[in-house]
Amino acid sequence: MDNSSVFVYCLAIGSAVGLGNVWRFPYIVHANGGGAFFIPYIIALVTTGIPLMILEMGVGQMFQGSAPAALRRVNRNFEWVGWFALGTASIISFYYAIIMAYSWQFLVESFWYAFDEALPWAKDAEGYFTAHVLNQATTESEIWQLQWPLVCGLAATWLAVFLIIHKGVHRVGRVVMVTVPLPVVLLIVLAIRGLTLPGAAAGIEYYLNPDFEVLKEPKVWLAAYGQVFFSLSLGFGIMIAYASYNRRRGDIANNAFITSLANCATSFLAGFVVFSVLGFLAFKEGGVPVGEVVKGGPDLAFVTYPLAISKLGDFGRFWPPLVAVLFFVTLLSLGIDSLFSLVEAAVAGLHDRFRFLTRNIVTAGLCATGFLAGLLFATRGGLAWVGVFDRWCSDYGLAFVGLVECLAIGYFFRTARLREYVNAFSEIHLGGWWELCIRLVTPIALTGLLGYQILTRELTGEGGDWRQDVAKIVFFGLLVLAFLLGRRKRLIAILGSGVVAYFVFEVWLSTAAALTGALALMILLGGLAICIGIALRGKDVEHHERTHGWPEEERRAHLPHAAAEDEDG
């Protein structure tokens, strides 16, 4: 393997290993049966995580393009999936950055008070986060006020992203040489500190103690699939863009395995960091059960963990600020490469399509947009928006893109061709299991995931406030935009009529009935469009090829048999 592909896979690992490993994984393990959760998790990893990782990397490397371009080369009907992936990735980057901004503020303020007798949040960690950092609005009129320290944190974050990727992330090797190993080293240091604290054993017991009963519940399996997906950064076009920077003959399967396993190992390690300290916190609170101090999501990283750190003073005055600084530097270094991977995927997509825009301009434009859009999350009502967009983009968007990707490769392209291509250059050879996973297992799992979430949340109207409606509109707006960019007029018409029908039906029917009605209408129109398409095919294809298509020679150059002549090594 040459240096450039080692480097590309460092980028992939950097993207996968992110904030999710620290605050999402440990909590999900604990909430879904502790040690027993590793069974569904590993099954999810092997049946969907790794196969889809191979698929994304394989498509990126074989077709040498960002998600929209590569998927267009798979089948021109699927370019829109790539655009939609980039759209959701961009929105995720907007709120991922605000979480980095929280970390900046905690980091800076831990320095401030290193000279004081205690860390600033020692007295009331919860209040510090909600009333000081977020300064959550108490009245409706306050929700749009900006929190200036967070705005500064956002600016710092986006500036860093711009400086790192504006020349092309695959050219600035030095950055990942820091952002990939640093958090792992820091996590090891934090784990050692955590495990040597009193009460740590109880915390770890709590983290790993298996409850096999829960394996009967579908929600545990869905949590495993969801976590594997999010954690491996799949379904955002990131791995496609990264793999396209590789030479055509790079190893794929081996690296997909390495990236996936390295990511899971980091998650597992982070569990020790988090739960050892939670055990200590429970011990300090007078031996309460560990379950009482456990929280998930932002609260874990910004309330519970900082609170535990502030209690380290017994071991020496320097421990609280030292561990605080180490922890927030860990979060920042974990987050930054995941964040720039999201932006990079979008930059690559736009740059591939709009060649007249230079990389610099696209990057600057996206970073500026990211900063401006991020201001929404930096307001005093910002945290509520984070939850809302997270639901639409990372829960639904990701599963949806993954599903369509599998269907596109599995049924509208010869999976065997991709498999042969991967096998030609990879040490690990893919067997028929891989195709089975792509065509059946993964689509079924993802349909289950999506269906379950829609049934339990959307149809029950859970957490439905006006913000949900805004996010819904943004989500469907992105879909329409993706169809426009993906040059699929008929699809736009069908989807558009579905959306209109949905809103019309919803005025006088329940959500479920409106959805069924809209869906039925779209299926009917879709069927009609396919029939008309078949009737008109001859003329249409020719015309399309002439007006918009990638030139045929270029397309042929991307087919695998051309690789033999492609002397790159």
Task: List residues near ligand PHE by CB under 6 A.
Answer: 15-16, 18-21, 92, 230-231, 233, 236, 238, 338, 341-342
CB of 84 to ligand PHE, least distance (A): 14
CB of 11 to ligand PHE, least distance (A): 11
Q: How many CB atoms lie within 10 A of CB 106?
A: 25
Widest CA span of the chain, in angstroms?
79
Q: Which two tokens stand for residue 178?
A: 């820091």
Q: Which two tokens stand for residue 187?
A: 């996590």
Q: Which is nearer to ligand PHE, 44 or 514 (CB)?
A: 44
How far is CA 345 from each of CA 48, 85, 263, 324, 389, rounded to the nearest angstrom?
Answer: 21, 9, 19, 32, 19
CB of 94 to ligand PHE, least distance (A): 12
- Residue pair 235/314 in contact (Cβ under 8 Å)? The answer is no
Q: Which is nearer to ligand PHE, 348 or 499 (CB)?
A: 348
CB of 19 to ligand PHE, least distance (A): 4
CB of 212 to ligand PHE, least distance (A): 27
Q: Which is nearer to ligand PHE, 22 or 282 (CB)?
A: 22
Alpha carbon distance 243, 10 (integer Å): 11
How far is CA 246 from each of CA 240, 252, 256, 351, rounded to the nearest angstrom?
Answer: 10, 10, 13, 17
Q: Which is nearer to ligand PHE, 23 or 425 (CB)?
A: 23
Q: Which is nearer to ligand PHE, 178 or 455 (CB)?
A: 178
Alpha carbon distance 346, 362 (integer Å): 9
Q: What is the 3-state secondary structure (H, E, C) of 503-544?
A: HHHHHHCCHHHHHHHHHHHHHHHHHHHHHHHHHHHHHHHHHH
Q: Which is nearer to ligand PHE, 199 or 235 (CB)?
A: 235
Q: Which is nearer to ligand PHE, 191 or 393 (CB)?
A: 393
CB of 283 to ligand PHE, least distance (A): 29
The one-letter code for the residue type at 18 is: G
CB of 18 to ligand PHE, least distance (A): 3
Alpha carbon distance 237, 240 (integer Å): 5
CB of 186 to ligand PHE, least distance (A): 16
Q: Which is nearer to ligand PHE, 61 or 259 (CB)?
A: 259
The sign one gets for the Cα dihedral 103, 109, 111, 113 is negative
- Residue pair 56/226 in contact (Cβ under 8 Å)? The answer is no
Cα of 527 vs its chain's centroid, Å = 33
The sign one gets for the Cα dihedral 361, 362, 365, 367 is negative
Q: Which is nearer to ligand PHE, 23 or 280 (CB)?
A: 23
CB of 474 to ligand PHE, least distance (A): 18
